[in-house]
Amino acid sequence: MRPRRDIPVTRRPAHGAGLHARIFALLWFSLLFWACGYLALVTISGHTYFRSIAFGLASIFALWLILGALFSDGEPIPAPDWYLWCALAAWAGWSVASLGWSLHPAYTKAELGTEIGWGMATAAIFYVAARSAASFRTLTVAAVACAGFLSALAVTAAITTGTFDPEHALVRSHGGAGAFSTYLVLCMPLLPLLIAPKPVGFGSGPWPLAIGVGVFALLLVGARLTENRMIWVALASGFVVAAVLAAWRWRARLIRAPKRWGGVLMALLVLVGALFVDAAVQRARTDFKPDTPVAQSFADDPRFALWQHTFERIRERPWTGFGFGKAILADELRGELHDPMLAHAHNLFVSQWLQTGAIGVATLVAMLAALTWCYWTFLRGSDGTLAAVGLAGLVMLVTFVVKNLTDDFMIRPTSKEFWALNAFLIGYGVRKLRERPLRGELRNLRPNS
């Protein structure tokens, strides 16, 4: 018997829906793949051609998924809260406006494209890519694996060369010791997420715990090889903030095992304190006369003269600055201070003040405050997974800001890493936060048994 023509056939729509779902699944996978590749190539400088390809493909897939969510029946992408948008728009908008009064307009225009345009596009890619717990774990593994790979390169270079120069050895792999040490303080807070319970981590079983401890030790060795002193201050600050916030959030566990919590914190602080002293002694020997005391090496740090000179420059344009760009006064500072290393302000906030004035500093502080409030919202929620993401984000902000009190690495690869890591933490956290009211409503709709 032949089927009647007036009866609709349901197989084709079902087949079409399945094909549609497979296409979007392929898009999500492609975005995650190229986002991880892009992050890896950003952290390893020098591969600009392949990095551009990965960035372009990741941007295309992210845009495709955003348009699919807006104009098709693709998976919805929750938007971040309004205060994040406003703070980010204020900082970026004022930076763009500085082109109108920049001392070097061509340089500011180029920096705006590199730092604002490229940075915001990077944030969008990783915000969209953090679609699920599996995506979040993949991005976390990629970020930590890059830090481990760079640390292994530094260790290999130190072993194979008799006289290890960290700046020369690391400049090819990650823009020098300063940029590499900054990436380490960004990645360190993510490491505990890998041994957190599912869905955010892989659990605290023997193998994940052993791998986590091994990677942590490798990152510490890599940090020591940079001969950077401020990294240990940043890590110590991060450990203290993490301990205090975790004790507040999981205070029931603290009450059950206070000695274990306190013992771990003290052990970490003693470790980073010893490494700080060792790095300070080494820097005093290499950067000053052999018999210079460590205290004298801090007192004679050229940054003090630089900051004094920089504030004299800031008084010339206190509200608007000289124009966006870290090296906006590089030639002037080099000529006046007679030191090629003192070409920028060597402080995140002073540098911003020099570039975009007091208003620019206010927008930067507002942006950091908005990120802090977002992570604090995650931390104080009842969901333990969301709280772990919030804790990692807060510690990451603390370590990044403290590390940049004596330098300014909100530029080039480190700025892209900053935006990428914050974006995927917030992207997953917002999705997790938006899930909870829906689940609560579904439970309320269930009939009473």
Mean pLDDT of 306-319: 92
Residue 379 or 2, more confident: 379
Beta strands per DSSP E along 280-388: none
**What's the CA angle centered on 239, arms 234 and 244, to 5 degrees?**
125
Give me the pLDDT at residue 162, please: 63
Cα 391 from Cα 385, distance rounded (Å)? 10
Label residue 16 by pLDDT band (50, 70, 90): low
In a shared domain, residues 63 and 40: yes
Label residue 379 by pLDDT band (50, 70, 90): very high
Give me the pLDDT at residue 341, please: 77
In a shared domain, residues 406 and 324: yes
Label residue 37 by pLDDT band (50, 70, 90): very high
One-letter-per-residue 3-state SS of 181-217: HHHHHHHHHHHHHHCCCCCCCCCCCHHHHHHHHHHHH
Give me the pLDDT at residue 428, please: 96
Cα torsion through 300, 169, 416, 201, rounded to 10:
-110
Decide if 57 is inside a domain. yes
In a shared domain, residues 24 and 103: no
Residue 133 or 48, more confident: 133
Q: Which of 169-183, 341-355, 432-446 has the highest mean pLDDT?
A: 341-355
What is the tally of structural domains in the chain?
Answer: 2
Residue 1 or 80, more confident: 80
**At 258, which helix (H) or strand (E)?**
helix 258-287
Give me the pLDDT at residue 169, please: 65
Give the single-character DSSP code of 151.
H
Give yes or no for a contact between 208 and 195, defined as CB atoms under 8 angstroms apart: yes
Decide if 102 is inside a domain. yes
In a shared domain, residues 312 and 394: yes
Q: Could you tell me the two tokens for 346?
A: 């060597």
| Residue 292 neighbours by CB under 8 Å, 6+ apart | 284, 285, 300
Decide if 331 is inside a domain. yes
pLDDT exceeds 70 at position 181: yes
pLDDT exceeds 80 at position 134: yes
Label residue 153 by pLDDT band (50, 70, 90): confident
Residue 92 or 300, more confident: 92
Decide if 124 is inside a domain. no
In a shared domain, residues 105 and 25: no
Residue 174 or 417, more confident: 417
Of 171, 146, 144, 176, give the one whose Cα is nearest residue 41: 146
Give me the pLDDT at residue 17, please: 66
Using the structure block, give the residue that is written with the tokens 């900082």. 91
Decide if 234 is inside a domain. no
What is the domain range of residue 23? 19-78
User: pLDDT tens for residues 188-242?
Assistant: 999 999 998 888 889 888 888 999 999 999 999 999 988 889 999 999 999 999 9
Cα 418 from Cα 400, distance rounded (Å)? 9
Cα 96 from Cα 252, distance rounded (Å)? 48
In a shared domain, residues 387 and 352: yes
Q: Could you tell me the two tokens for 328?
A: 């906006």
Decide if 385 is inside a domain. yes
Q: Which of 73-77, 125-129, 243-247, 441-445 has the highest mean pLDDT?
A: 125-129
Range in 111-115, 240-244, 439-443 the model is least confident about: 439-443
In a shared domain, residues 318 and 399: yes
Q: How far is CA 429 from CA 25, 148, 381, 432, in A?
A: 21, 25, 11, 5
What percentage of the chain's residues is helix, strand, coil (to nearest 5)? 75, 0, 25
Give me the pLDDT at residue 165, please: 66
| Residue 190 neighbours by CB under 8 Å, 6+ apart | 140, 143, 144, 392, 396, 421
Three-state SS at 69: helix
In a shared domain, residues 62 and 90: no
Give me the pLDDT at residue 164, please: 61
Decide if 105 is inside a domain. yes
Dihedral pair phi/psi, residue 320, rounded to 5°: -110, -25
Mean pLDDT of 20-32: 89
Cα 145 from Cα 443, distance rounded (Å)? 40
Range in 150-164, 178-192, 204-218 the model is least confident about: 150-164
Decide if 219 is inside a domain. no
Per residue in 299-325, is it b (16+ CB within 10 Å) or e — as a string?
Answer: eebebeebbebbeebbeebeebbbbbb
User: pLDDT tens for residues 49-79?
Assistant: 899 999 999 999 999 999 988 888 778 899 9
Give yes or no for a contact between 373 and 204, defined as CB atoms under 8 angstroms apart: no
pLDDT exceeds 80 at position 18: no
pLDDT exceeds 50 at position 348: yes
Give yes or no for a contact between 163 and 169, defined as CB atoms under 8 angstroms apart: no
List, as own/partner pairs, every contact residues 64-68 make where C-beta atoms lie below 8 angstroms and the sequence separation is at least 24, other chains included.
Answer: 64/27, 65/24, 65/27, 65/28, 65/31, 65/128, 66/124, 66/128, 68/24, 68/27
Q: What is the mean pLDDT of the chain?
A: 86
Q: How far is CA 271 from CA 109, 236, 268, 416, in A?
A: 44, 9, 5, 30
Of 310, 306, 326, give the one whose Cα is nearest residue 318: 310
Of 48, 33, 135, give the one whose Cα is nearest residue 412: 48
